[in-house]
Structure 1
């Protein structure tokens, strides 16, 4: 079976990361969370006072960006990768509503996307990877052998995000999260640089009403076909 590149794109809170992590673990591939990279940059901006309302101090960020270290390390207990920012574990910190409400602003900056895409392409040079994000199949790996585009209704995605925050004991109202989901959709699909869109050769997956096991089965079948196992 040949090694391939798997690109999973789609809207926020569709469960792309969980889906990609599980698939990578089951087939023995390396998982790269591109969204976590943009979230880490956003967290850096928040911690260093680079936000002024919904505007980013781009001059300071341009100066800092080459020195921001983003890395992934496997958690020995779960076997899943975790995000590190400048050597510190930030996996939970980058998933907060504060970061979620600002990440699309940072991700829309051309110089940030250019730096992250370059880093992602370096990570995926040897194939045998699963990467999820917003522009993996269109910009980062346009020649990926398997491209999946994941979608679900905003209401269902907001409920998933709300449940996730509740499980962590974090505050957040469903209405606020729903507005955040819709605003992120608007920004992601309308930005000038690498807007979120379904690649022409991507397979769409609407997981609004799918169980986790149904989703895994669906993905496994697409992987086997793309990798030449069927």
Structure 2
């Protein structure tokens, strides 16, 4: 059976990573969470003091890009790869609301996007990959055989994110989560470099009222049809 490239784009907290992990596991494909890569760069910027408290030293971050080493390391207990920043597992740290508040600003930087897009294209050059993010179907893999654009109402996405952070022990408020979701939507959709938008040949998938099982079954069945025709 031929292998294809599956690109999953969409707004924050639409469940892109969950769906991508499920598809990759079922198809025995490689899964790449590009959002984790941008979050890791953001975490580095925060730790180095380049961003925070109203300040953003963009030049400082750009000058340090060669010092930022990113890699995914498969965790057999979890069944998927985790994000490592300079040989340190940062999977938990990059999922905090603090990182979420800054990641869209970091992702706007042309030099950051250029570096990460190059890494992502190299990861998926042999196909058999499921990659999720904001610009996978439009910039990273515009020739992907299957493109999915995921969306849901900001309120539904905020509720999901709120519950996820509470489960991790974070002290957060729903109102702050909703504000963050709406702010990220605007920045992601209006940035100059690789703005979030639906590829012309992508399937738009609104999962506002769908459970994880229904969501997976629909996209998985479609993926099998695409694979069969490829």
How far residue 229 of structure 1 moved from its aligned partner, in angstroms, is 6.2
State the TM-score, normalizing by the size of structure 1.
0.98
CA contact (8 A) 1:13 1:161 kept: yes
Is 2:180 aligned against 1:162? no
Is 2:47 aligned against 1:37? no
Deviation sequence 1:12-64 (CA, Å, 0-9, x none): 00010111011101110000000000000000000010015444212211111
Tell me, in whole angstroms, the C-alpha distance in 1 between the residues paired with 2:112 and 2:103.
11
CA contact (8 A) 1:150 1:204 kept: yes
C-alpha RMSD of the superposition: 1.1
Higher mean displacement: 30-39 or 62-71: 62-71
CA contact (8 A) 1:54 1:102 kept: no
Match of 2:115 in 1: 115
Match of 2:126 in 1: 126
Tell me, in whole angstroms, the C-alpha distance in 2 between the residues paired with 1:139 and 1:2.
23
Deviation sequence 1:122-175 (CA, Å, 0-9, x none): 111000000000000000000000000000000000000000011111111000
State the TM-score, normalizing by the size of structure 2.
0.98
Kindly report which structure 2 residues correspond to 1:73-84, keeping only aligned pairs within 5 A, or say none.
73-84=73-84
**1:49 counterpart SS class:** coil
**1:101 counterpart SS class:** helix
CA contact (8 A) 2:46 2:52 kept: no
Deviation sequence 1:90-149 (CA, Å, 0-9, x none): 001000000000000000011100000011001110000000000000000000000000
Tell me, in whole angstroms, the C-alpha distance in 2 between the residues paired with 1:95 and 1:9.
18
CA contact (8 A) 1:8 1:149 kept: yes
**What is the aligned residue count?**
230
Match of 1:174 in 2: 174
The 3 A distance-change label for structure 1 pair 198 and 75 is same
Match of 2:61 in 1: 61
Where structure 2 has 5 or more consecutive residues not aligned to the other structure, the ranges are none
Match of 1:93 in 2: 93
Is 2:213 aligned against 1:213? yes
Higher mean displacement: 35-44 or 55-64: 55-64
Kindly report which structure 2 residues correspond to 1:199-210, keeping only aligned pairs within 5 A, or say none.
199-210=199-210
Tell me, in whole angstroms, the C-alpha distance in 1 between the residues paired with 2:52 and 2:198.
32
CA contact (8 A) 2:120 2:140 kept: yes
